[in-house]
Chains A and B, each alone.
Chain A
Amino acid sequence: MSRFVYADNAATTKLSQTALDAMLPWLAEGYGNPSSVYRLGREARRALDQARDQVAAALGAKSEEILFTGTGTEADNWAIRSVAESKKEKGRHIISCAIEHHAVSHTLEDLAKQGFEIEYLPVDECGRVSVEALDAAIREDTILVTIMFANNEIGTIQPIAEIGALARARGVLFHTDAVQAVGHVPVDVAVMNIDLLSLSGHKFRGPKGVGALYVKKGIKLPNFLTGGGQEKGRRAGTENVAGIVGMAAALTEAVQHMDEERAKITALRDKLIQGMTAIPAVKLTGDPVNRLPGNASFVVECVEGEAMILMLDAVGIAASSGSACSSGALDPSHVLLAIGLPHEIAHGSVRLSLGEESTEDDVDYILEKFPGIIAKLRAMSPLWEAKS
């Protein structure tokens, strides 16, 4: 294949060279168990401690507030299930929103079966939660607000600082799934009044299989995995030293270069959005302003999403879709339905997500190939025939 353009950075990112270099010693000679008292173990322990400091610094947190996990999904499960378990005597009301990632929404559905009452705030057509609606929804027995920092499909960034301030003022714990945001937009748990935050290493050019949960000091949660004393006994199991070190290195690098990368990627994204929305009956999904730097997501009328993804793949472009057919589900994505798109439009979704390695050439190549793909699929679509 002559040309390859990776435009699916919201799914996963390429490991950065810095992260890889940081990891390699811990996959080779630095194989000690961090719990061992001899030198090899102490070195691994020091690497973990340093990684914890780095992750904390990137979030405006204290080192002891960072707990390492296997994935972002695990961090979400830990946060939500633990708060529910520890606060159930106080109340059983949990507030979330309609466009959460399944790591949160399926966890909440599970809690609903156990007798918790889950209230999903609606979002507007841009995918934003209303802070006023949240204010009205909080009750005496509300034990948790869990609202994502930024949406994985449409890129909308929520008013997290306002939500945090409100939850803090009303005395309710606030968790945010920040998997799509960390490393890409400024996140400060202290300034934003965040009590619990989930992140995932591979979304900011760290390795897969490692994440973290931030838990504000003073919040007592039950231990998630029992066993040895790792993570102060809260999440037992020998630590993924290389993964944790790689994640920390990638995050430090991402935060250091955030301003310049954000400006560069946002400019590329906006060029892509401009080019795509110039095609008839192609619309941007998500908030045009409050959106992740790399996310360019659209609905293309009269064309089905998976068909577009396959044709893009055939010309070397990796992208994704929230259409039912691309996920094996019957309905298109709950996010697209929640922002008010009818089923038939939501089936034509496509997400192009750019990253640090994206270039203007990549964007030009996408804009060169995509209109022809849409035209080809529309030429065989009876819906387009009926529309035009």
Chain B
Amino acid sequence: MYSEKVMDHFANPRNVGELEGANAIGEVGNPKCGDIMKIYLRIENDVIVDASFKTFGCGAAIATSSISTELVKGKTIEEALNISNSVVTDALDGLPKEKLHCSVLVEAGIRSAIADYYKRQGIDPEPIVGCGYDCDSCHGH
């Protein structure tokens, strides 16, 4: 069911835990739905210099969180906002159909963190990030 890449990122997740000096933190999901993702970013001069995550969820939720921290590192904010759920899915060599929502959730997690970054500076994030970063992507309830 899971690709080797998913199993690798699940068994050996990259960048786990809180990030020291994080200046952008996003949390998405809902414990009722069975997955919560917290994404930590350190952004300097519009570039994401470091990233980490904490996730409660299934194998796919952990694997998508892990790979997205790798995907965003070194990217500009603009580039990071272009990381769609299908980019995440492709990077993992695919996800089972019933697990695709995990990649949607992690995309929202990145947006949520970047929104937090702008909010901390008193900038309205919505024109830049859009509004699809909250629990809308939760698959039920």
Contacts and interface: CB of A to CB of B under 8 A. Distances in A.
A324 B34 contact: yes
B98 A383 contact: no
Given A379-B16, A382-B38, A344 B58 contact: no
B114 interface: no
A383 B31 contact: yes
B101 to A, nearest CB: 9
A307 to B, nearest CB: 6
Nearest to B97: A328
Contacts, number: 78
Interface residues of B, number: 31
Interface residues of A, number: 28
Contacts of B7: 310
B91 to A, nearest CB: 19
Q: Is the interface of B mostly helix, strand, loop or mixed?
A: mixed
Nearest to A302: B56
Interface in A302-338: 302-307, 310-311, 314, 323-326, 328, 330-332
Interface string B116-141: 00000000000000000000000111
A137 interface: no
A380 B13 contact: yes
B86 to A, nearest CB: 20
Interface string B31-47: 11111111000000000
Given A310-B10, A380-B16, A325 B31 contact: no
B55 interface: yes
Given A325-B58, A328-B98, A304 B139 contact: no
A385 interface: yes
Nearest to B38: A382
Nearest to B57: A304
B34 A332 contact: yes
B75 interface: no
26 contacts: A303-B56, A304-B34, A304-B56, A304-B57, A306-B58, A306-B59, A307-B10, A307-B57, A307-B61, A314-B11, A323-B34, A324-B34, A325-B99, A326-B58, A330-B140, A342-B32, A344-B32, A347-B31, A380-B17, A381-B36, A381-B55, A381-B56, A382-B37, A382-B55, A382-B56, A385-B54
Interface of B: 7, 10-11, 13, 16-17, 27, 31-38, 53-62, 96, 98-99, 139-141
